[in-house]
Structure 1
Amino acid sequence: MTHLFLKRNLFIAILCVPGYVIRAQSVAPLPAYSSEQLRSKTDWLLASGSQKSAVYRTKDGFLALSNGLITRSFSLEPNGATVGLDNLTTGESLLRSVSPEAILWINGHEIKVGGLTGQPIQNYLLANWTKTMKADPYSLKMLKYEVSPIKKRMEWNRRTAWSTQKADWPPKGLELTFTYGTTDEIIRNNQNRLTADDQRTKLLDDDFRSLSPDWKIVASPGNQSASFRNEGKPGEIQIPDNSTLFAERPLPEKTAVVICKLNSGTDQSRYYGPGIALTFDDRAPVKFYLSPGNRQFGLQNGDKGEFFEGFDPAKSWYLRAEMGVGKLIVSVSEDGIGYKLLSTLDLASVPKGIRIGKTDPKGGTSEQTTGKATGRCRIEQLTLLGGPQNPGADLDFLNGLVVKVHYELYDGLPLLSKWVTVETPSSAGFILNTLKTEHLAVTEAESAVEAKRRWELPPIFAQSDFAFQSMSPNASENACVEWQEDATYRTQVNYNLKTPSVLVCQPRQGVGQKIVRGQPFESMRLWELLYDSWDRERRGLAQRKMYRTIAPWVTENPIIMHIRSAADADVKKAVDQCAEAGFEMAILTFGSGFDIEDSTRQNRLRMKALKDYAAAKGVAIGGYSLLASRSIDAKNDVVMPKPDLNPTFGHSPCLESEWGQRYFENLYRFYQETGMDLLEHDGSYPGDICASTHHPGHAGLEDSQWKQFVRIRDFYHWCRGKGIYLNVPDWYFLAGSSKIAMGYRETNWSLPREFQEIIERQNIYDGTWEKTPSMGWMFVPLVEYHGGGPAATIEPLKDHLPHYEQRMANLFGAGVQACYRGPQLYDAPETKAVVKKWVGFYKKHRPILDADLIHLRRPDGRDYDAILHVDPAGKEKGLLMVYNPLDEPITRTLTVDLYYTGLKNRTSVSKQDAAFVSQPLDGTKLTLNVTIPAKSQTWYVFQ
C-alpha cells in the first residue's frame, strides 16, 4: 500500500528532495490517508526495507510521518504538537496526552517548545479534542517544517572484509524538521510571566498521595466518623452535602499565592461545596469554593457572598487566591495555565491559615449535619507559593531564539529518532542549562492499584547516543532516558499516581552550554522502537535490527587475536600465525607492554613499522589503552561536589582537565602517524561529573558531564570515519564503537576447562538477546588468566586440543568472535589444522553466522543446547547449531520453527556441509532427528 501511495502522489515524492521546505499553511495539498490504508501487510522482520517512509495528511487534518508500520502525527495549529503515536502492526494508539515538543532551561528560565493545553482528561486523546485545545501562551510557536532524506550523523569508513551485511549509510528514510521561534506576543507573555506562578518560590506542594501529619482534620459533630481519606484515598471526602469536613494548617510565612486543584465529584452542595477558606486572626474567613448545586463558583467574604458562572462539575478546577498589597485576587482555571479573574477583594489584614475541603457557608465548622444526599469530592493538589524569584530577570535571549525539533523515520522499521537544535542570532548568547527533548505521555502497560516494585513498561524501547556506565542498553537510562510517573495524570488507576507512563529524555546532570551566534547546540538523539509483540525473541530481533540500521558498523566482525607481548619478534610471530590461520585482527593487549601514551618518535616509528608488517600480511593491528579507571593527580582528577561521593570506578581523570585534553590529542596523533587499525579502549568515560572550576575544558559542575561526553564521542566519531575499529566495554555503539563484551565474568576463565565450555555457551546465549553476535566479544585465555593453574589453561595447545576445538566450535558456531589471548594460535601441525578448520567454517558460512540468532535451548550441561541463525534475505537462510555436552552420544527429535528464515512448506537441508536434501515443512516447522557424538556438535544449513 505504501508503494502505491508514493507512486501516485507526486507531491510526496517532492518531499524527499533535500532542503525542500513546506510552510505550515501549505499542508492542504497533502493527500489524506487512513492508518488502515498505510498499514503494512508483510512482516517487517522478513521483508527488509519494503515499508517506505512518507509524509501525509490525516483525515483529521494533522501532519503525519509514517512508514506503514508506525505513524507519528502532529498538529500545526494553534501550535505544533505530537497528537498521535500509532503502532500500525498492532493497531494500538499509544499517545494518551499532549505535551510540549521540548522544554529548554535558558539562563534559569523554563521555555516550552510547542504543545497544546486544555485536554479534558489524560487517559486517552481524541482528535476532535484538539480543535478546542489552545496554544500555551508562553510556548515557542511552530513557524515551518521541512522534509529531507536522512543525513549521516557521522562518517563511516566501512571495512567490507569484516562484514557481509549490506547496510545502508545513512539509513534510508525521511527527516521531518519543525522550526519553532518567538513572536512579539510570546515575548510579552514571558516578560509578564516573571511574576507568574512558575517563577515563584514554592513553599508547599501537596498532591495528597499521602496525608501529611501537618494537617489537622476537622469535622462537624455529626461527621466524627467521616474520613478525609475515603476508601484509603487521601484528600477524598464522602459525607452528606450540607455538612463539613476539612483539613487545616497555618500558612507558611510570606505565602503570596494559594492554588488548589479539586473536583466536586458527586457532591451537590450549594453553600457547603469543596474549596479553600483563608483564616485570619482578626476577622472572618474568606471562602472560595465550587457550588455544584448552583453549577457556579462561590466566593464568601464575611457576610457578603456572590456566585460566578462558568463552572462545569464534570471537570477538575484550579482555584487561585493571590495576596496583593491590601487585596485578595481570586481566579479559576481548567488547566492551571490560563486563569480567569473572578473578583478582587479589599483586605486590611493577611491570612494566617488555610482550610481545604467542605466548610460551612462562612468557611467554618457547622454544628450539625444536614442534607439528604451523600456526595463524594476530592482535593487533588494544593500549592503554596511565595514571591517571584527573579522579578527583574533578563529575557533578551528570547529575541531571535530558534529551536528546531528533528524527527527521523526509517524505512522498514517501526523506529523513529528525535533530537533538538538550538540557535541564536546574539553574539552575547546565553547559557542553555539543560533541556528535555522528549516528554511522551503514553498509555500505561498495566493496571496496578497498589504500589509495585517492578512495573510493566509501555511497548517502546528507547535508546540514546548519550549513554555510558553500562555494558547493556541501560547505559541510556544512566544518562538521560527514563520512564517517569505523571502526577498530572489524576485519573490513572494507581492511587498514588506512580504508574510509569511518561517517556522522558533529559540529561540527568544538565548541559550548561554557552550558545552564541554561529555556534548552534545539537542535543543527544533519542531512538524510539515500537514493539509489536510481548514475545522476548521478537523484541530482541527488533532491537538487533535497530542497531544494524542506525549503527551498521556493528556488523563488522573481524576474527581477533590478543597478543600478550608487544616485543617486535613476538608481535611478528603472532601476526604470521594470524595470516596463516585466517585471523584478521591482532590486538596488543593489556599487560603486553604496548603504550599508546608514549608519544616519543621512537615509539611511533616502531608502531608504524609493526602496522606496515601486519598490513603486508593482510592483518589489522592496534592496541589497548586504559582511560577512566585510574587516578592521575589532584590537579587532573575529577572533583566530586560532595565529600561522600566517589567517581564510578573509584578514581578517574577529568576528560576536560589538562591531562584529559593531552590524552585525546595524543590518541589523534598516534593513529594519524602510525595508521593503526583499532583501539581497545578500556575504562571508557562512565559519566563522572566534575566540580572543578580550573579545568580548561569546562566551566564547572553544570557543564562537566556534557563536555566530557562530547570529548570522547567526537573522538569515536573520528575513529569511525577513519575506519578504526573500536572495542569499548561500555554501550557506545550509537556514538561509533564496534564491539562490547558479550557478557562474562573474567574470573570464570580461572575455572577448570570443562566448566568454561558450558559457561561460554551460556554467556553467548544470554548475551545475544539484545546484541547481534557481532556486537559482543568473548574471551579465550590460551595462557593462564586470573589464576586457575594448569587445570584452567589451554597451553600447551596441542595437549588440550579437544577443549581448544570445542571453544572454537562454540564461538565460530555462534558467529561470536573471541579475544584469543596468548603468544600463539597453534603450536603443532594438528593444532594449526583445527584452527584453520573452524576459521574456514566461519568464513564459508559468514553471511548466515553474522545474521540474526534465534534461541532454542539454553546450555545447562544436562542435555543438548541449540541456536538457530536466520537470514530471510540470504542464500543460506538458516544454520542450526546443536551441541552435546554429555559424555555419551545422544539422539533427539527436534521441532524447529523456521519462520524467521522466511522458508515455508519445503526447504533444502545440508548436514555438516554434505549435499543438500529436499525436506518438507509443516508450514514453517521442521522435524529433525539429530544424532550427536559425545562432547561434540553438529550443524545443519537450510536453503
Structure 2
Amino acid sequence: MQTQINELPYKQHQSYSSANPDWLIHPESYKAGIYRGEHDHEIVMTNGLISRTWRIKPNAATVAFHNLMTDETIIRGVKPEAILRISGEDVAVGGLVGQPDYAYLRPEWVDGLTSDPTAFQCTGFETDLTKERFPWKKNHVSANRPWPAPGVSLVFHYESAAEITSGLSVSVHYELYDGIPLLSKWLQVHNNGSSCVKLESFTSELLAVVEWESPVESPDRWEYPNLHVESDYSFQGMAQKKANRTTHWVPDPDYKTQINYDCLTPALLESRPPIGPNVELEPGETFDTFRTFVLVHDSTDRERKGLAQRKMYRTNAPWIEENPIFMHVRSMDPAVIREAIDQCAEVGFEMVILSFGSGLNMEEEDPAYIAALKELADYAHGKGIAIGGYSLLASRSISPEHDIVNPDGAYYVHSPCLESRWGQAYFRKLQSFFERTGFDILEHDGSYPGDICDSTDHPGHHGRHDSQWKQWKRISGFYQWCRGQGIYLNVPDWYFLSGSNKAGMGYREVNFALPRDRQVLLSRQNIYDGTWEKAPSMGWMFVPLTEYHGGGPESTLEPLSEHLDTYDAHLMNNFTAGVQASYRGFRLYDTEETKQVVRKWVDFYKQYRGILESDLIHVRRPSGRDVDCMLHVNPMQKHKGMAFVYNPLDKEIEQTLELPLYYTGISTRAMIREQEGELREYELDRNYRVQVQLSIAPKSMTWFVIEGSVGG
C-alpha cells in the first residue's frame, strides 16, 4: 500500500479565504482529487472546500476531517470506519484505538494509536472517478448535467481473521464531488466463505463530530452540528426531515470530558438503518448498503444552507430538474383523453396524466385493455405529448394474506406488503404495463412508507427484521428501472436519490376545497415555504379545475371562463415560481379567451424557463397584508435574476423594495428592467442589494428581469 500512496500526487493543506470564489456562484474552481498526506501513511481526499484524511497503518481510519471554508475541524476523535453486527456481536471495520481524550484530537496522538485486533484490517485501496448509481435516460426536458456527478472515488478493502467474520471481506467506498462540499459513503460486504452469514445490522458512517453546544444541564431540545446528512434509504415523508431514517445523533460513550453532566451531548453521528437489514449472504454473494451523503455547511444562514442542499440534489439526483408542464385528466373516456391531449398540444403543455379517479388500472393485463392504452399513447406521442397515469400502492388493503402484518399497524392503517405474493406481482405488472403501452409517467400514490411486516409467510422476506430493507429494495429498484427507461416519476415521498422526479411541494389537499380567493394566497405561501429545501422543479402544486375534496362550486374553476380571474392567478403563481401544478379536470380551456390566458402563461414560462427553474431566494413571505416577493437567481445565465412581486390587496401599492442580488453573481452594477420595459443600470450596495420602485395595481403582479452590466 505504501507504494500506492507514494504514487499519489502531494498537496499541502489548503487554506480558504474570503478571496476564494464562492462555490455556490463559481463551483468550477473546486475539483476533487486524492493525494498523499503530510504523513507517510496518509491519504487525503479534498476539493478545496472540505478534506478528509485517512491513516492506513496500523489500520485504516479517518484521522482528520476539515471544513476548509470555515477553517474548522469537523471531528474530535477517531472511530471505526463502519460497524457490522453479526451473530449478536458488533465488529469494527478499520479504526484506531487508544485516544486519551475525545474532546479533541492532537496530530501527535495519532502516531500512538493502535489497531483493534478484533476489527477488520485494511488490506489495500483503490482510486478512481465516480460511477453512476444507476442509469438515467435523459429526454427533452432533462437538464444538461453530467451523470454521474464528476468527482473522485476511494475504496478501502478490509479482511478479518476472526472466527465470527470468517470468509467476509468489506469494501468501504467514498466519493467526493467537484464544486460542492459533499461526500458520500457506502459499504459492500462480500461473503467469500463456504457457509451462509447473516448480517443483522450495520453502521456505515461513524463520526465523532465536534459538538454544536455544551450545556451543563440536558436541554429539552439539542442543537446538532452544522452538517446536512441524509441517505437514499428515505421514506414516509414529502419533507427530508420526516423521511430521514438513517441519520442518528447520539451520545459518544468515549467522550468522558464533555461539559454535559449526564454525558448526553449528541456529538456522535451514526448512519444506520432503524431496523435490520438482517440479510442472509450466501457464499459468493455481495451486499450493498444504502449511500450516506454528508454535506458540510459554511454558514448558519437559512437561505445559504438551503441553496447548498438544493445543489446537492441537482448534483446527485439531476433528474429532479426535469419539470414538464402537465395536466391531470379525470376520465378514461378515449374521446375526453384525446381532447385533453389536443388542448395540451395547442397551448404548449407537455404531459397528460390519467389522474386518480380516472379509472386507469395499471395492474390490468388484458391484451385488449393494453392495446387501447397503447393506441392513446401513440396518439399522444404523435402530438408531442408524454402520457402516463396514476397507481395506488399503499393506503389500501388487499387481503389478510398479502397485507402488512404488524401489531402496531401500517402507516396508512392498511397497506400491502411489497414482498407478499401480491406485492411482487404488482411490480411485475407495472413494469409490463410500461413496456407494453409505451406510457411515459408513473404517478405513484402512497409509495412505500417504511412499514415493518411480521409475516413469516411472505415469499420476499423472512420476518420482521428484514422486512423493511427488502421492501425498500423492491420499490427503489423499480424506481431506478423507471429512471433508466426515462419514465417520469411523481411520488409523494422522498425517493429523489432513488430516482423519483417530484413530490408534493407541501400543499394541504383540503385547502383546495376552500373558496377560490383563499386558495391563491395559500398556494403562494406553500411555494415560498416548500422551496427552502426543494428546487422549484422538485414539488408539485394543485389547481382544482373540477370539484375536489367536496369543496363545491365555490372552490372549483369550472366553468373556466366564468372564473378566469382565479384561473389566471393560479397560472401566474405556479409559472412565475417555476413550479408545475396538477391542473385536474377534463379540459384546460372552454373558450378562446380562456385558451389565450393559458397560452399566455405557458409562453411566458417557456420564454424565461431557464431562470424560472433556477433557485428561489426568499425575499418576503406572502402575508396577505403587503407585497410578497420571490427572486430566481442563476449566475450561469444571461438572465441572472428574475424577481416577482405580488400585490394581494384590493388597492394599489407604491413602495420601495430591496432585492438581494448576491447569488446572481453580480457584484457591482446590474441592468434591470420591469417586465418588458427598458433596461436601467443599478448600483449594488456593499451588501449586494438594490432598491426598486414599485407601483402595483390591486390583485396583480409585476416582475423584474436582472442582467449583469459590462464589468458588473
TM-score (norm 2): 0.97
Counterpart of 2:209 in structure 1: which amino acid?
V
User: How much does 1:902 deviate?
Assistant: 0.3
User: How much does 1:148 deviate?
Assistant: 0.5
User: How much does 1:30 deviate?
Assistant: 3.8
CA distance in 2, matches of 1:915, 1:680: 43
Counterpart of 1:44 in structure 2: which amino acid?
W
For the pair 1:168 / 2:146, whether they are aligned, the reply is: yes
Determine the structure 2 residue equivalent to 1:520: 286
> Contact 1:423 / 1:516 at 8 angstroms: preserved in 2?
no
For the pair 1:433 / 2:200, whether they are aligned, the reply is: yes
SS at 1:841's partner residue? helix
Range 38-47 or range 148-157, more displaced: 38-47
Determine the structure 1 residue equivalent to 2:73: 93
> Contact 1:24 / 1:145 at 8 angstroms: preserved in 2?
no
SS at 1:787's partner residue? coil
| Structure 1 counterpart of 2:30, from 51, 54, 78 | 51
CA distance in 1, matches of 2:510, 2:574: 19
Determine the structure 2 residue equivalent to 1:566: 332
| Structure 1 counterpart of 2:430, from 667, 673, 676 | 667
> Contact 1:24 / 1:144 at 8 angstroms: preserved in 2?
no
For the pair 1:124 / 2:108, whether they are aligned, the reply is: no
Determine the structure 1 residue equivalent to 2:609: 846
| Structure 2 counterpart of 1:698, from 461, 480, 486 | 461
Question: 1:715-754 residue pairs with structure 2 within 5 A?
Answer: 715-754=478-517
SS at 2:29's partner residue? coil
Determine the structure 2 residue equivalent to 1:826: 589
For the pair 1:626 / 2:392, whether they are aligned, the reply is: yes
For the pair 1:398 / 2:166, whether they are aligned, the reply is: yes
For the pair 1:868 / 2:622, whether they are aligned, the reply is: no
For the pair 1:889 / 2:656, whether they are aligned, the reply is: no
SS at 1:72's partner residue? strand
Determine the structure 2 residue equivalent to 1:223: none
Determine the structure 2 residue equivalent to 1:689: 452
**1:444-502 CA distances to partner (integer Å, 9 max, x unpaired)?**
1112111212211101100100111111112553x222111223312111111121111
Shift >6 Å, 4+ stretches = none
User: How much does 1:24 deviate?
Assistant: 4.4
CA distance in 1, matches of 2:699, 2:308: 34
Determine the structure 2 residue equivalent to 1:390: none
Question: 1:300-339 residue pairs with structure 2 within 5 A?
Answer: none
CA distance in 2, matches of 1:697, 1:882: 53
Determine the structure 2 residue equivalent to 1:497: 263
CA distance in 1, matches of 2:47, 2:456: 48
> Contact 1:465 / 1:476 at 8 angstroms: preserved in 2?
no
Question: 1:283-294 residue pairs with structure 2 within 5 A?
Answer: none
**1:541-580 CA distances to partner (integer Å, 9 max, x unpaired)?**
0000000000000000000100011210110111111000
Counterpart of 2:33 in structure 1: which amino acid?
A
User: How much does 1:139 deviate?
Assistant: 0.5
CA distance in 1, matches of 2:393, 2:305: 34
Determine the structure 1 residue equivalent to 2:239: 472
CA distance in 2, matches of 1:930, 1:86: 46
CA distance in 2, matches of 1:892, 1:485: 52
Counterpart of 2:645 in structure 1: which amino acid?
V
Determine the structure 2 residue equivalent to 1:157: 137
**1:273-307 CA distances to partner (integer Å, 9 max, x unpaired)?**
xxxxxxxxxxxxxxxxxxxxxxxxxxxxxxxxxxx
Determine the structure 2 residue equivalent to 1:64: 44
> Contact 2:166 / 2:193 at 8 angstroms: preserved in 1?
no
CA distance in 1, matches of 2:404, 2:185: 31
> Contact 1:464 / 1:476 at 8 angstroms: preserved in 2?
no
Question: 1:253-264 residue pairs with structure 2 within 5 A?
Answer: none
Counterpart of 1:503 in structure 2: which amino acid?
L
Larger radius of gyration: 1
SS at 2:90's partner residue? strand
For the pair 1:929 / 2:693, whether they are aligned, the reply is: yes
SS at 1:28's partner residue? helix
> Contact 2:230 / 2:246 at 8 angstroms: preserved in 1?
no
Counterpart of 1:443 in structure 2: which amino acid?
V
> Contact 2:15 / 2:68 at 8 angstroms: preserved in 1?
no
> Contact 1:537 / 1:769 at 8 angstroms: preserved in 2?
yes
For structure 2, the residue ranges without an aligned partner over 5 or more in a row are 708-712
CA distance in 1, matches of 2:663, 2:568: 30
**1:805-848 CA distances to partner (integer Å, 9 max, x unpaired)?**
11111110000000000111111111111100000111000000
Counterpart of 2:270 in structure 1: which amino acid?
V
User: How much does 1:916 deviate?
Assistant: 2.7
CA distance in 1, matches of 2:610, 2:617: 15
User: How much does 1:98 deviate?
Assistant: 0.8
Do the aligned partners of residues 38 and 73 (structure 1) sit closer, same or farther apart at CA in structure 2, a change above 3 Å counting?
A: farther
For structure 1, the residue ranges without an aligned partner over 5 or more in a row are 1-22, 192-394
Aligned length: 704
CA distance in 2, matches of 1:902, 1:125: 38
SS at 1:117's partner residue? coil
Counterpart of 1:167 in structure 2: which amino acid?
R
Range 909-918 or range 131-140, more displaced: 909-918
| Structure 2 counterpart of 1:614, from 380, 383, 395 | 380
| Structure 2 counterpart of 1:106, from 80, 86, 110 | 86
For the pair 1:555 / 2:533, whether they are aligned, the reply is: no
User: How much does 1:918 deviate?
Assistant: 3.0
Counterpart of 1:33 in structure 2: which amino acid?
K
Determine the structure 2 residue equivalent to 1:36: 14
Do the aligned partners of residues 507 and 24 (structure 1) sit closer, same or farther apart at CA in structure 2, a change above 3 Å counting?
A: farther
Determine the structure 2 residue equivalent to 1:918: 681
Determine the structure 1 residue equivalent to 2:710: none
Aligned identity (percent) is 50
Counterpart of 2:109 in structure 1: which amino acid?
W
| Structure 2 counterpart of 1:180, from 158, 163, 171 | 158
| Structure 1 counterpart of 2:665, from 902, 906, 917 | 902
Determine the structure 2 residue equivalent to 1:799: 562
CA distance in 1, matches of 2:83, 2:47: 28
Determine the structure 2 residue equivalent to 1:305: none
User: How much does 1:437 deviate?
Assistant: 0.3
Determine the structure 2 residue equivalent to 1:784: 547
SS at 1:509's partner residue? coil
> Contact 2:16 / 2:69 at 8 angstroms: preserved in 1?
no
For the pair 1:459 / 2:222, whether they are aligned, the reply is: no
> Contact 1:38 / 1:67 at 8 angstroms: preserved in 2?
no
Determine the structure 2 residue equivalent to 1:360: none
User: How much does 1:922 deviate?
Assistant: 2.5
User: How much does 1:427 deviate?
Assistant: 4.0
Determine the structure 2 residue equivalent to 1:84: 64
User: How much does 1:48 deviate?
Assistant: 2.6
Do the aligned partners of residues 466 and 545 (structure 1) sit closer, same or farther apart at CA in structure 2, a change above 3 Å counting?
A: same
> Contact 1:740 / 1:775 at 8 angstroms: preserved in 2?
yes
Determine the structure 1 residue equivalent to 2:705: 941
**1:387-437 CA distances to partner (integer Å, 9 max, x unpaired)?**
xxxxxxxx3x413x2100000000000000000001122242311111110
CA distance in 2, matches of 1:633, 1:723: 33
CA distance in 2, matches of 1:476, 1:80: 32
CA distance in 2, matches of 1:803, 1:638: 43
Counterpart of 1:153 in structure 2: which amino acid?
R
Counterpart of 2:217 in structure 1: which amino acid?
E
Determine the structure 2 residue equivalent to 1:679: 442
User: How much does 1:513 deviate?
Assistant: 1.3
> Contact 1:81 / 1:114 at 8 angstroms: preserved in 2?
yes
> Contact 1:801 / 1:831 at 8 angstroms: preserved in 2?
yes
Counterpart of 2:199 in structure 1: which amino acid?
L
> Contact 1:463 / 1:476 at 8 angstroms: preserved in 2?
no
CA distance in 2, matches of 1:463, 1:411: 19
- RMSD of aligned residue pairs (Cα, Å): 1.4
| Structure 1 counterpart of 2:123, from 123, 131, 143 | 143
CA distance in 2, matches of 1:780, 1:797: 12
> Contact 1:629 / 1:651 at 8 angstroms: preserved in 2?
yes
